Structure 1
């Protein structure tokens, strides 16, 4: 786990430029499109997608839920490594299409911290993602319940001995 991912480590207004990028593959798109029984052929039929919308696209369009899943994954190491509950996703937008071969990068901003339980708190953050050309491809807000260091650090260390749990002196 990353250091500094307990509820206590976040501050409203902090911005995270997530270091990992992810190149989208056709498999990513196929897997989620078919697992979710999405029948929109522009996601899996190359001939159809080239003909759809007057030939505007030369490649299959990556399904929105696939894009969102990858982007949220890119934010997870910094934002939700110590989360144990997804509470909500809101204000979702997909302003530009994503295609296989696009490389996505994400950024997050802490919007709100709700200190409502002794063992955890609610973290709400805004995420956005851009492709290799700098076009915004996804935006939204995510709320997760995140562990507090005082309640979990020793337990986490017992589960993963020798692993730095990010305790601060």
Structure 2
């Protein structure tokens, strides 16, 4: 029988992160129009900029804008395999900045910087604070935000 720890990465426990580390995450994700419109609708966001193509052709952008909630979710998701696969708990998401518009069809990539590591109030985990960056296919920064995660300690959770 396969142990749960063998299904996750071996280099993303609390002990593996040091302040100043920068990670370039391997995957990119193209934002599909269906994802944008669906999330905009289920969150009851009524801004025409996200789903009214006709109106947006006369805007300064000339096309529909992506919903910031999707941008945030995609960048955090792209970073999660490397930064939160061994998470015990998400502790915070702060200082969110949407730096440039994202359009339907843009492709997002993610980078993460380790800002801080510290002991937690429990022996099996430690706290890591990351700054995540999202860039589009033109390497333009579209998102910045900080995320704090309680991560497993290898000493308590890794397969022996």
Inter-partner Cα distance in structure 2 for 1:3 and 1:32: 33
3-state SS of the aligned residue for 2:12?
coil
Tell whether the 8 Å contact from 2:88 to 2:125 is kept in structure 1 after alignment: no
- Cα shift readout 1:70-124 (whole Å, capped 9, x = no counterpart): 0000100111111131111111111110011111111111001121220111110
Q: Which sits farther off after the overlay, 81-90 or 135-144?
A: 81-90
Which ranges of 4 or more aligned residues in structure 1 deviate by more than 6 Å? none
Q: Is residue 73 of structure 2 the alignment partner of residue 73 of structure 1?
A: no
Inter-partner Cα distance in structure 2 for 1:8 and 1:147: 9
The two structures have a TM-score, normalised by structure 1, of 0.85
Q: 5+ residue gaps in structure 2?
A: 1-7
Q: 5+ residue gaps in structure 1?
A: 155-166
Number of aligned residue pairs: give it: 152
- Out of 40, 45, 51, the position equivalent to 1:44 is 51
- Cα shift readout 1:39-58 (whole Å, capped 9, x = no counterpart): 1111111112223xxx2122
Q: Is residue 64 of structure 2 the alignment partner of residue 57 of structure 1?
A: no
Inter-partner Cα distance in structure 2 for 1:85 and 1:36: 24
- Out of 65, 82, 85, the position equivalent to 2:86 is 82
The two structures have a TM-score, normalised by structure 2, of 0.90
